[in-house]
Amino acid sequence: MGNAAPSYAVSPAYALLLRDMGLSPARLLRRAGLPADLFSRGSMRLPAAQYHAVWSALEAEAGPTLPVRIAQALSVEAFDPLLFAVICSPDLARAARRLTQYKPLIAPFTVSVEASAHELTLRATWPTGLEPPRSLGHTELLLWVSLTRISTRAEVRPTRVTAPVAPADAAGLRAYLGTDVRRGPAWAVTFSAADAARPFLTANEGMWAFFEPELRRRLAELDEGANITQRVRAALLEALPAGEVQMEAVARRLAVSKRTLQRRLNEEDTTFQQLLSATRESLALHYLRQSQLSASEIAFLLGYEDPNSFFRAFGSWTGRTPEAVRVLGVSR
């Protein structure tokens, strides 16, 4: 967020987690080309490229079973303040919403939640060009399940799990989750409504009341220096897959009124519609170049209810059809 480069929060708890997994933190960091005492320096932020290098080193050290090993080794002692505050929630439904609000404190990607009468889905969205190493994406999905099991003391099994890339250890993830990880356009985990409402035995609203002011303060600091254009683009990356393309929806995500949002965008010589179109175009080109998603799937991820509306918009942006851009590898 802001003008700073994308980064991940890193704390000494990482060393504890690695030791619980039987891995040497110093050896891992040397393999990643980072100082061997990094995890002992206290809480800090690591640039995304270096953090992803840590995960590449983790993959080399732990092998394809890495996501499951992390999920199994996770404990309350290894949580950072945000995750510890989240498990104080009454249930998964409310924990998920707290996570969507404060996830930027620990990672440069967003988490969105979609709920219906029958299910609740958590979806992770990395910024374009900052896609995670395969094991990191799968680990994020497993951690949501692990977090729910720790909090409910029940063997909660998701009803559906999707990822843009297949796991290296498909059998291991299937055994842990109780379901296959299916190929799909999003990193997402879906729980039944019953499991989403299952009480957290770790619920502690007093503890949440203690943590929340500090989390709000840290989030405000993270937002300092971010102009409204940058914040709207970040909000759209999260909102588009949920079909939230109206200014009112984005204003709610940014905790400002529609009138205030419109005024501040005007001050920066842009409009909401211009940002929406530019974000959609950038994402469409990225999906076409970097994935095998169909045009209809891309239309859905960009918040279009009708694929034909996407085709018309894409033609106005590029003068070509989506498939022509994919085949020819051309850009605007």
Kindly list the domain boundaries of the chain, sorted by start residue. Answer: 7-196, 247-328
Residue-wise pLDDT tens digits, 84-115: 778 899 999 999 988 888 888 889 888 889 88
Cα gap 189→132, rounded to integer Å: 17
Strands (DSSP E) found in the chain: 7-10, 44-47, 110-115, 119-125, 160-163, 181-183, 187-192
Q: Read off the pLDDT of each residue in 305-316 and give the average, rounded to a whole number.
A: 93
Q: Residue 253 is which amino acid?
A: R
Mean pLDDT across the chain:
87
Please tell me the least confidently modeled range out of 151-160, 166-175, 284-293.
284-293
Cα gap 286→63, rounded to integer Å: 29
Judge contact between 52 and 59, C-beta under 8 A: no
The residue whose two tokens read 């106005």 is 316
Three-state secondary-structure class, residue 206: helix
Q: CATH for 7-196?
A: 3.90.1520
Q: Residue 129 is which amino acid?
A: G
Cα gap 176→223, rounded to integer Å: 37
Amino acid 3: pLDDT: 44
Do 7-196 and 247-328 have matching folds? Answer: no
Q: Read off the pLDDT of each residue in 291-309 and give the average, rounded to a whole number.
A: 88
Amino acid 2: pLDDT: 42
Sign of the torsion angle spanned by Cα atoms 122, 103, 285, 274: positive
Q: What Cα–Cα distance (Å) separates residue 114 from each residue in 13, 119, 121, 192?
A: 30, 8, 5, 12
Q: Residue 157 is which amino acid?
A: R
Sign of the torsion angle spanned by Cα atoms 198, 204, 209, 210: negative
Q: Read off the pLDDT of each residue in 34-43 and give the average, rounded to a whole number.
A: 82
Q: What angle do CA 62, 68, 72 make, to 5 degrees?
A: 105
- DSSP for 220-275, please give it: HHHHTT--HHHHHHHHHHHHGGGT--SHHHHHHHHTS-HHHHHHHHHHTT--HHHH
Judge contact between 138 and 166, C-beta under 8 A: no
Amino acid 225: pLDDT: 54
Homologous superfamily assigned to 247-328: Homeodomain-like (1.10.10.60)
Residue 121, beta-bridge partner list: 114, 190
Give which of 220, 200, 214 is closest to 95, Cα–Cα: 200
Residue-wise pLDDT tens digits, 50-91: 999 999 999 999 999 999 999 998 876 555 667 777 889 999
Q: How many residues appear in the chain?
A: 332
pTM of the model: 0.69
